[in-house]
Amino acid sequence: MKNWSILAAVMLVVALCPYSAQGIDRKKKEVQPKTTKVVLGKYDELFKNKAHVVAKGGFMTLHKVDGKLFFEMPLKYMGREFLLASTVTSATDNSICVVGYKPRTPRHIKFTLLDSMVCLRNVNSKMTYDKGQAGLEEAMEKNFGDPIVESYRVLAYTPDSSAVVFDMTDMFTKDESSLSPIMPNSGGILSHSASLNKEGSMLTEIKAFEDNVSIKSVLSYLVTTKAMGMLTVKKDDPLTTRVTRTLLLLPENKMRPRITDSRLGIFLGNKVYVSMEEDGIQKYSVANRWRLEPKDMDAWKQGKLVEPVKPIVYYLDNTFPESWKEPLREGILRWNTAFEKIGFKNVVQVRDFPLDDPEFDPDNLKYSCVRYIPSTTANAMGPSWVDPSTGEIINASVLIYNDVIRLINGWRFVQTAQVDPRVRAKKMPDDVVKESLAYVIAHEVGHTLGLMHNMAASAAYPVDSLRSASFTQTYGTTPSIMDYARYNYVAQPGDKGVRLTPPDLGVYDEFVIKWLYTPLPEVEDAMAEVPILEKWLDEKAGDPRYRYGRQQVYARFDPSAIEEDLGDDPVKAGDYGIQNLKYIMSHLNEWLGDDPDGQHRQAMYQAIGNQYYRYLKNVMYNVGGIYLTEVKDGTPGKRFVAVPREVQKNSLKWVIRELKTQNWLTDKELTDKFALGVSLAPTVRYAAAKNVAELYKNVVLSAHVSRDPYTVKEFFDDLYHEVWASTLNNRKLSESEKILQRVIVEVSSEGMEGKKKGLPFLTDEALYLHSGDAFAPSVDEINAYGLDETGMVSRYLDEFREIEQVYGRGFVAAHLENIGNGYGWQRKVTTTAIDDSKVYLQDMLVRVKQLLEGKLSTADKDTKAHYRALILQIEKALKAE
């Protein structure tokens, strides 16, 4: 062992000696300076000798390297919650991608580090639990954790080991469905199928800020668009979009949520609560609202007006027409009146797009913007996006489409031209445009503050009060601008000083702001707030001005909670409205003479027809109608009440009599100047008559819940006597009556034959909704009441009517989609177990057949042919049965 040690020492000396031990090359050599080779770490190797762009912000750094994107995320932010949102920045086709809009709900995510992988997890914010209960936290973590949806290999640590670097390129350059700029394909009216063109897709720009990072990409697609899977609208059309994705760090100090009450129309997020104190797992919801806190709480408690810690700021698009900016600003700022009533000032602010701020980006999730969309869509939208764990609104966008001006001009003309000389023109004057735009933006901003539609509001005021100058100047036309109560179509020619527009804000709107935003510092948590908030609503129970009526789309039960109506009596309001339409029709050529090709007059003529159809439908909803009200036990009101029997009976008679007397809609001197088409009178009569013939389906449920029912038998008796009145009394039939009789027999025969139609392209939900079409809206109702947000039904109305002819009423309605999260639309009720209507339908058809057979011998030639055709159709239906 000793010898081996000596030998090793000798060898070490030889190895360290600069010259050979044998004396070879003993010549003295020049000593070269030593060089130290720098060994790069993995972090530096990632970015060596490459086109490297860095964006370093307050919490995170982005690296763009040779077309790839790397996140450098500090370890201290692992486990923190984020929102990841995608906004359309530009598009080559704005019918598919709307600039400024987020077509997908922002993802609620977090990153965690697991060994050498970064895991992207969806945050499960729906499940909540009693934190004071021992062991429950552990059980919740085991059963309701945050699922991993993606994972990324850690490529390097920063030199100080405080952050990790991982590759996120695919998330922002490939077809990531959760961030797609194209509207989701969810089986609605419109469906898009898109294939990504990889060659036309790339990263473009990265930015980093104090609490968020921004990644911009160009994405190119080939897109095919279909309506209800049947009607091809686009086929492999090229589309290129620029999109901005924002990863926003959510605050650790969460806003206190506010638990909702179904008696108030607010957007919300649904939750589940687990506690052993309750029998079973509980469901509840939290309101969507901005985080509004007084800067000086003591001053606020003393009743002084104080500013909020963080105001709600809307940035106004600089591309708006200049004349629009002032009314848009005025409409937005109206909401400050409501906030002042709860002790806040300067809550809502409007700023122009800053042109000299390098950090400003209207598509970044940090900025809430009002955007101008140059599109033929006649609409406006007010979506918002929230922290799902608390309901805190983080971002809002108001989208104003260019052709909304066409929509409001049409409304103003057909609803107020009888009393307002200013609107008797092809183009509305500036003052009318401005007051209309202010109303539109105020309504949409209401949505971004958390308010849903309240379609019951306009039914709170007596119809005759809407002709009163003193009443309307004080209250407007409705207690809420969140209703679709447009303009005062009740006001008659000669009514002086009557307000024709909705109020700036209604009393209901101000109350919702109070409920949503009043601080309650005297209590400790959200549960302790509930008794106080409930008491505020209890005090308003029974007052129609504060009644909430949810929007009815799939099923329309409640005649007092529909769009485009005014007042508490649709028959009286309809009488006033029809008188006004007749007056406007008689002056159409005079008022719109500056229209050489007649296109504008024809458009207004069609608008008159739509308005008239709405008056008919507003009354029809009474027949089989059921008033619906959210009621708490112990407070005034009932959850559902059938429309009184006499109201239903009189409403049916009113509609049928109207359908017999529509000749005022036919004006040859006017329509001869229009393009070739079918006159309005038979078109409206046919659509309305079909609706009348199917009302018995509604009566089934209404009679079932009524204590003094308008029965199905009575309905058919009234229908028989009203439709066949001239036949029964040996009077000559008018053309109106012939159409009415033909449609009634046609629809009734289909009801008897009970044809089962194929129902392609329906989701499971849509199949359920279509399983019975009682209370479901027809295509014409969808068009008339604006129930289709896409505008496709209106654009292809004739084609959708043909689809409805094949698949039945309710088929198109089943494809309509709910926009936004709230209590949902009023759902349908299946009446199969109580439906004996076919007995009475058959009885009516037998009576009609016998009546017509008895009149054949005395009828004139044309009437005899009409009767024979009806008899044949009835016989076929009865045989099928």
Distance, in Å, from the CA atom of 600 to the CA atom of 592, rounded to the nearest integer, reads: 8
Angle formed by the axes of helices 599-620 and 570-586, nearest 10°: 160
Q: How confident is the model at residue 824 (pLDDT cuts 50, 70, 90)?
A: low
Domain boundaries, the chain: 51-253, 551-723+756-835
Q: In this structure, what token pair is assigned to residue 775?
A: 């209370």
Of 486, 507, 503, residue with least CA distance to 562: 486
Q: With contact defined as beta carbons under 8 Å apart, do 116 and 103 qualify?
A: no
Distance, in Å, from the CA atom of 414 to the CA atom of 566, rounded to the nearest integer, reads: 15
**Cα 124 from chain centre:** 24
Distance, in Å, from the CA atom of 818 to the CA atom of 761, rounded to the nearest integer, reads: 18
In this structure, the chain runs to a length of 881
Distance, in Å, from the CA atom of 792 to the CA atom of 188, rounded to the nearest integer, reads: 11
Q: How confident is the model at residue 796 (pLDDT cuts 50, 70, 90)?
A: confident
Distance, in Å, from the CA atom of 483 to the CA atom of 265, rounded to the nearest integer, reads: 11
Q: Find the mean pLDDT for residues 266-289.
A: 90
Pairing status of strand 348-352 against strand 312-316: parallel
Q: For the segment 190-207, what is each residue's pLDDT rounded down to a tens digit?
A: 778 888 998 899 999 999
Q: Where are the alpha helices (DSSP H) in 89-160?
A: 136-143
Pairing status of strand 384-387 against strand 392-401: antiparallel
pTM (two decimals)? 0.90
Question: CB atoms < 10 A from the CB of 767, how many?
Answer: 11
Q: For the segment 123-159, what is each residue's pLDDT rounded down to a tens digit?
A: 999 999 888 788 888 888 889 899 999 999 999 999 9
Question: CB atoms < 10 A from the CB of 21, how many?
Answer: 11
Task: End-to-end CA distance of the chain: give it in Å, rounded.
Answer: 113
pLDDT of residue 773: 66
Pairing status of strand 380-381 against strand 368-373: unpaired
Strand order through the sheet with 107-114 = 148-153, 117-122, 107-114, 81-91, 231-249, 212-227, 190-208
Least confident segment among 31-35, 365-369, 619-623: 31-35
pLDDT at 595 over 80: yes
Of 207, 202, 206, residue with least CA distance to 217: 202
3-class DSSP state for residue 150? strand
pLDDT at 667 over 90: no
Q: How confident is the model at residue 2 (pLDDT cuts 50, 70, 90)?
A: very low
Instruction: From residue 275, give the alpha-carbon distance in Å to each of 124, 131, 133, 383.
Output: 17, 9, 8, 34
Q: Find the mean pLDDT for residues 323-345.
A: 97
Distance, in Å, from the CA atom of 717 to the CA atom of 848, rounded to the nearest integer, reads: 11
Q: What is the mean pLDDT of the chain?
A: 88
pLDDT of residue 825: 54
Question: CB atoms < 10 A from the CB of 264, how many?
Answer: 25
Q: In this structure, what token pair is assigned to residue 729?
A: 């009394």
Q: What is the H or E stretch that residue 338 is in?
A: helix 335-340
Q: What is the H or E stretch that residue 63 is in?
A: strand 61-65
Q: With contact defined as beta carbons under 8 Å apart, do 866 and 860 qualify?
A: no
